[in-house]
Chains A and B, each alone.
Chain A
Amino acid sequence: MKKIFAIILSAMLLLSMTACGGGGEKEAETIKVGILGPHTGELAVYGLAVRYGAEMYFKQVNDAGGVNGKMIEVVNYDDQGDATMAVTGFTSLVDDGIVALVGEVTTGNCRAVVDEAYPINMPMVTASATATSITYDEETKTVFKNVFRTCFIDAYQGSKMADFASKELGAKKAAVLYLSGDDYTQGLAEAFEAQCKEMGVEVVAKEAFSKGDKDFNAQLTTIMAANPDVVFLPNYYEDDGMIVTQARALGIKCTLLGGDGWAGIEKYASAADLAGCYYASAYAAGSTAELKAFEEAFVAAYGEDYLNMFAATAYDAAMVVVEGLKAAEAKGAKAGEEDYKQAVIDGIDQNAGNVKGITSPSGYKFDEYNNPEKDVVIMTIKDVEGVPTPTYHMNY
């Protein structure tokens, strides 16, 4: 008798647990937006930056009255940086009734989520996944029209630097020295070269070096003989530091340019050699009034630990999402229906140009591969009492 009683009791316990999971529906009119990323584990510093950055903007929108009078309800899901959990997490968010997603954070997991999101046309905006494969699949030649991002893809800075060299520096001849066999450096070098052709800048020398090389004099001599106006060095700071030093020693006086791999180069070359060089970056802390306001509010709410580039791009990602939501609400679409998701996507596609993002005041436009055309921050290195100091130059 006791045993049967125990069985019945445990069965009831089980039932009540499932009942808890299913119940609790809210009838209040809210717009649910999901945030998916690693909020715990070794990638948490990025995941939480994205989460807090996006949450902060949604909160500000709610404080200002919401979208079309409706509050935005953020649904978080922590996938611990695990691809399996990212996929189940996304499904869980969809079951929860989200209409748009901010995430995923890392490239691999993001692509796994894209594979799930594309068939159901769920709008998603990532703030940190930079690989081209997030929005475009080369094998099947598919553009994932529902996926957007507010960080730039690696190659994009290459073409932006070519623009900058031609328009701002008035360069007519350019040279490139890059690390071969590396996706990042090769991507930047190719994009730079292509854009130079477009702008009528002649690429007079394109030289490569291998991983681990310490002596660049052979390549630099060839470059010097071609007498370029600018030299583009799309590599990482250790290599580029050595290249800059050797180039100056050899007598190359022209302006040297770099990509965001230059962050930290000031420890690898002297102030005299680096002064007047430019490099591209996604984010320069405190460079504009909007960024300063954002940083202050962010630190006040979440502390300094998670204030990094991704917090800023996530804040912008939330802006882009809200732009899409506004368009969908204006159309009068009903949340949960196919039209709504499409309206959000169309809204982002058409109106994201109006978004005054903190990392891109001139807005976000998306090209045919859904890659963003946005501002790049150009940093210049100044000689401050013998110390090379990267300083904000302009949004470009």
Chain B
Amino acid sequence: MKTRKNLPLIVKYLIVAAVYALFLLAGNLLIKNKVIGLYYTKVLMVVAINMILAVSLNIGTGYLGQLPLGSAGFMAVGAYASAIFMRKVPIDPKLIFPVGIILGGLVSGLFGLIIGLPALRLKGDYLAIITLGFAEIIRIVILNIDKALGITLTYGAANLKNIPKTTTFTNAFIWVFIACFLIKAMMNSRHGRAILSIRDNEIAAESCGINLTFYKTMAFVVYAFFTGVGGALYAGYLGILNPSGFGFAKSIDILVIVVLGGMGSMTGSVISSAVLTIVPELLRAFSDYRMIVYSLLLIIVMIFRPTGLMGTKEFNPRGIMDFFMGRKKRKEER
């Protein structure tokens, strides 16, 4: 067996970025030449949004080992914050959109901090319930705040309209990259290992001097931030927002993606958001039976792969190389 040198980290990152840029370029070319129709472009944009939402929920469930069900709430906060900003600012929406997205993420992250500090003292079911309640509160507040305060901000049930439609294939997938990259970097760092250790054994982690509250809240805020980013992209994709779109079912949809992909695997979340968004569209050929087929698919996957498609494994370019070259699997490093 050959000995392999490990490439410096920065070179690795550059290679990954270059490969991803190529992917974006190829995607754009295909869209421009109508190889990918407008319909599939839209589906791909939804895939990208779902990827961001799933990858960020994966921090809360997979890495932190909690069960937050507030995705719809954070998404709503991000979507509305960014949409209101985009509507008010008189600059070219295409230029200002990144600011809108980051703003959506920050506002959502702030809410994550406010909710996270008290909520993370709870565990398991209780955390699930409190985040679920939070999401519902957000939805009801957005629905009624205009009437209660006599302002026009969210337009409640009358829909927030005329949001610039600035989400494109390119910027959606750039944000997928940013989200995955930052989360991956965080998880590889000291902070990430602290979060993982909390998941594996809280008492042991605490006795090693890890600040439980700090790391739990940090993970939760990052989760809220990127969910807000996803929400902002959703607003820019749809152009119209209604509080009823951010119900309980939305949180569950995203949780299903994460669970199917494998809790704790970012690759799993990415793959399963693509699968769970595209498969229902492909199944339209079966017309009314597609609901049954879709549910059966979920059940079958859960029976044969109870840990999800990827378990806790991650995609590793080197693993693929080994697979092709017929090399023996390297031992798990961790």
B239 adjacent to A3 (CB under 8 Å)? no
The answer to whether A17 and B282 touch across the interface, beta carbons within 8 angstroms, is yes
Most B CB contacts (10 A, CB to CB) among A77, A88, A111, A140 go to A88
Q: How large is the interface on A (under 10, 10 to 19, 20 to 34, 35 or more residues)?
A: 20 to 34
Chain B stretch 207-246: residues in CB contact (< 8 A) with chain A: 234, 237-240, 242, 244-245
Task: Given the known inter-chain contacts A112-B238, A115-B239, A140-B162, please indicate yes or no for A83 contacting B245, CB distance below 8 A.
Answer: yes
Determine the main DSSP class of A at the interface with B.
helix
Contact partner of B37 among A17, A87, A95, CB < 8 A? A95
Task: Identify A133's interface contact among B46, B158, B239, B326, CB under 8 A.
Answer: B158
The 9 closest A-B pairs by CB, nearest first: A92-B39, A108-B242, A95-B39, A91-B39, A88-B42, A112-B240, A115-B239, A95-B37, A91-B42
- Mark contacts of A66-102 with chain B using CB atoms, 8 A cut-off: 1 yes-contact digit, 0 otherwise: 0000000000011000111001100110110000000
Query: For the complex, what is the distance from the CA of A112 to the CA of B235, rounded to whole Å?
Result: 11
- In angstroms, Cα B240 to Cα A108, docked, is 8
Chain B residues whose CB sits within 8 angstroms of the CB of A17 once the complex forms:
282
Q: Which residues of B contact A183 (CB under 8 A)?
A: 158
* Interface size range of chain B in the complex: 20 to 34
Of B39, B165, B237, B291, which is in contact with the most chain A CB atoms at under 10 Å from its CB? B39
B161 near A139: Cβ-Cβ < 8 Å: yes
| A87-B42, A91-B42, A92-B39 given; A139·B162 CB < 8 A | yes
Q: Which of B150-200 contact A (CB under 8 A)?
A: 158-159, 161-162, 165
The answer to the question of B323 belonging to the interface, with a C-beta cut-off of 8 Å to chain A, is yes
In the bound complex, CA of A137 to CA of B324 (Å): 58
B interface with A by C-beta (< 8 Å): 37-39, 42-43, 46, 147, 158-159, 161-162, 165, 234, 237-240, 242, 244-245, 281-282, 284, 288, 291, 323-324, 326
Please give, as numbers and ranges, the residues of chain B lying within 8 Å of A84 by CB-CB distance: 46, 234, 237-238, 245
| Chain B residue, CB-CB nearest to A20 | B285
Instruction: Tell whether, in the assembled complex, residue A83 and residue B46 are in contact, meaning their CB atoms are under 8 Å apart.
Output: no
Chain B residue at minimal CB-CB distance from A113: B240
Q: What residue in chain B is nearest A119 (Cβ atoms)?
A: B165
Least CB distance from B184 to A in Å reads 26
A149, chain B: closest CB distance, angstroms:
17
Q: Tell me the residues in window 112-169 of chain A with beta carbons closer than 8 Å to chain B beta carbons.
A: 112, 115, 131, 133, 137, 139-140
